[in-house]
Amino acid sequence: MTETSSASLRQTAREWSGAIGQMVAVFLVVMAAKAALAEPFYVPSGSMEPTLMIGDALLATKFPYGYSAASVPLNVALPATSRVLGALPERGDVVVFRWPGDRSQVWVKRVVGLPGDRIQMRNGQLLINGVPAPLRADGTGRAENEDGSDLPAERYIETLPGGHAHPVYKLRPHSFFDNTAEVTVPEDHVFVMGDNRDNSADSRVPVSEGGVGLLPTDNLVGRVEAVLGSYDLGVARRRADAASWLSGLRLGRFLTSVN
């Protein structure tokens, strides 16, 4: 090998090494930003309809509640840790969190109860500290299922203590979730529920039965701020013509805030 070719190989190696180093640096910066600032998430179920729809892509900020092992942007079950710079959510916040049954899974629900609150469902109405959260009829809607089908749903506006108002769906006049025993939310936990009240395995359901149970705040990942984009997966399931799939884009939901 000549001296010229040897120098050329060394130069090429340096260039490749530099390029790889830059890619690693970019990757680390992106991961750090996702861990510390915000991260996108995807909605696979209808438990938060009508607020969130199947196929929504969400942006959740992580700094409002502080940081723990749950903040790491990896779909792995890391051991639970205490929070740094921790803060409690507010009633009404839509949150993403590590499911206590499998911390590699990230779920999304709404916080309705804080530590010390007494929570109960009675005849389909939420009671907080013995006081019913006001419900106002708001017409009807269509609740989508994971298979692309839908069914009619009564729509209500629920108002939590403090004034936060949000829509909820009621699929049936009487449901297994409509009446529950009163529970007191312990320290360092919150009570979460889905807005689709008859189709949500949430704090009303124990972890052993596939629900959330009382959610440890150490499992919180972040607060949902916005819908970045949305696609109706039912379009692809119902229509064989790939050219029509673009009609599944829900353009009206792109870059919309989440209440």
CA angle 183, 184, 188 (to 5 degrees): 130
Q: Is 109 a catalytic residue?
A: yes
CA distance 114 to 82: 18
- Indicate which residue of 45, 47, 68, 71 is catalytic: 47
Token couple for 33 = 């930003």
CA angle 51, 184, 83 (to 5 degrees): 70
Sign of the dihedral defined by the CA atoms of residues 240, 244, 246, 248, in that order: negative
Please spell the DSSP secondary structure of 188-224, one letter per residue: TEEEEE-SBTTS--STTS-GGGTS--SEEGGGEEEEE
Q: Is 47 a catalytic residue?
A: yes
Number of H helices, E strands in the chain: 2, 15
Burial zone of 218 (CB within 10 Å; 0-12 exposed, 13-18 middle, 19+ buried): buried
Residue 103 burial (CB count, 10 A): 18
- Indicate which residue of 45, 68, 71, 109 is catalytic: 109
SS3 143: strand
Judge contact between 205 and 197, C-beta under 8 A: no
Q: List residues with catalytic annotation.
A: 47, 109
